[in-house]
């Protein structure tokens, strides 16, 4: 391998390779992850923040978001101001005021190709998938106590709107797990 004067100025051949990689377009997987994270940020600072602000008086509200929660109330009345409001309030408060900072940091890490991106993505994806599963499990073990009528519509409206969070985070977690495992395989094979 020949090292040019430009390589020496740039810090060696490793720096040149890193600069070339930084100029390459993001992978489809990275662009999808950024799109999903952007969607979750928008949802957090619109409809989810609305719930936090109006969880006590949501039944008196008349706007678009209140109508969405009225419809979702067929699956979980707590989101429409009746019953145990505090589990959804706790979940949404953590999501809006903590998770979105991590999502913004993760987007930046993806765009800037930071080494810590995949560990952060794995952690965020794992705990978000876990929180959705916990929410589902709480409703299930309670016999769907927050569901006014146990019918097809109630189960549909309870599960389907939550699936994007569960499926997207399972997928993003898997992507990061696979990337981390690949790095470990490469580093252990070089060590031997």
> What is the per-residue pLDDT across 59-87, written as a single tens digit (0 to 9) for each?
999 999 999 999 999 999 999 999 989 99
Give a yes or no: residue 51 inside a domain: yes
Q: d(Cα 115, Cα 137) in Å, to the nearest integer? A: 34
**Burial of 176 (C-beta count, 10 Å sphere; 0-12/13-18/19+):** buried
Q: d(Cα 69, Cα 81) in Å, to the nearest integer? A: 9
Give a yes or no: residue 44 inside a domain: yes
Note the pTM of the prediction, 2 decimals: 0.83
Domain that holds residue 41: 28-191
Q: Which residues contact 117 (CB under 8 A, 6 or more apart)?
A: 106, 109, 110, 176
Domain count, the chain: 1
């Amino acid at each position: 391998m020949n090292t040019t004067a430009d390589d020496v100025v740039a810090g060696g051949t490793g720096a040149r390779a890193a600069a070339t990689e930084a100029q390459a377009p993001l992978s489809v997987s990275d662009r999808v992850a950024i799109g999903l994270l952007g969607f979750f940020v928008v949802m957090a600072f619109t409809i989810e923040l609305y719930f936090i602000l109006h969880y006590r008086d949501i039944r008196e509200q008349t706007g678009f978001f209140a109508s969405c929660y009225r419809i979702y109330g067929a699956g979980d009345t707590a989101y429409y101001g009746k019953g145990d409001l505090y589990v959804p309030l706790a979940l949404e408060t953590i999501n809006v005021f903590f998770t979105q900072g991590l999502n913004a940091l993760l987007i930046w890490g993806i765009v800037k190709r930071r080494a810590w991106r995949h560990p952060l993505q794995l952690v965020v994806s794992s705990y978000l998938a876990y929180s959705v599963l916990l929410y589902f499990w709480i409703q299930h073990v309670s016999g769907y106590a927050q569901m006014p009528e146990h019918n097809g519509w109630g189960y549909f409206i309870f599960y389907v709107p939550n699936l994007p969070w569960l499926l997207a985070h399972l997928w993003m977690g898997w992507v990061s797990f696979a990337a981390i495992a690949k790095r470990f395989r490469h580093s252990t094979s070089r060590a031997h």
